[in-house]
Structure 1
């Protein structure tokens, strides 16, 4: 499901997300599946998360100039 909305994120000391919160709920990050960043661009994360409905995969973007963005979530 494409969401593309701003969220807040709690991060680990290394800068990886550990929890994500937004209007659609609160997601606890179980592990980072993928992480990538093009030079000078935002950092993308594909995460295994726990949602109120159960486990899921989420894709988020960490923009250095603004809030985090939850791009999509799928079961």
Structure 2
């Protein structure tokens, strides 16, 4: 499901998201499945998350490494 909505993210010391909170609720990140970034661009994460309805996979876009900025929940799959 394509969502593209802003979320806030709590991160680990390494900068990986550990919890995502937005209009759809609070998702606990169980693990980072993939992480990629083009030079100078936003960082993409594919995450295994726990939702109120059970486990899911989420795709999240975060700020470039070392930067501050918005987070976006792009997609979620049950």
In the superposition, the TM-score normalised over structure 1's length comes to 0.96
Is 1:43 the counterpart of 2:49? The answer is no
What pairs with 1:58-73 in structure 2 (closer than 5 Å)? Answer: 58-63=58-63, 64=67, 66-73=69-76
Q: Which runs of 5+ in 1 are unaligned?
A: none
Q: Which runs of 5+ in 2 are unaligned?
A: none
TM-aligned CA deviation for residue 33 of structure 1: 0.1
Alpha-carbon distance between aligned partners in 1 of 2:17 and 2:72, rounded to the nearest angstrom: 12
Alpha-carbon distance between aligned partners in 2 of 1:23 and 1:69, rounded to the nearest angstrom: 12
TM-aligned CA deviation for residue 59 of structure 1: 0.2
Residue-by-residue CA offset, 1:4-26 (whole Å, 9 max, x unaligned): 00000000000000000000110
TM-aligned CA deviation for residue 65 of structure 1: 5.8
RMSD after superposition: 0.9
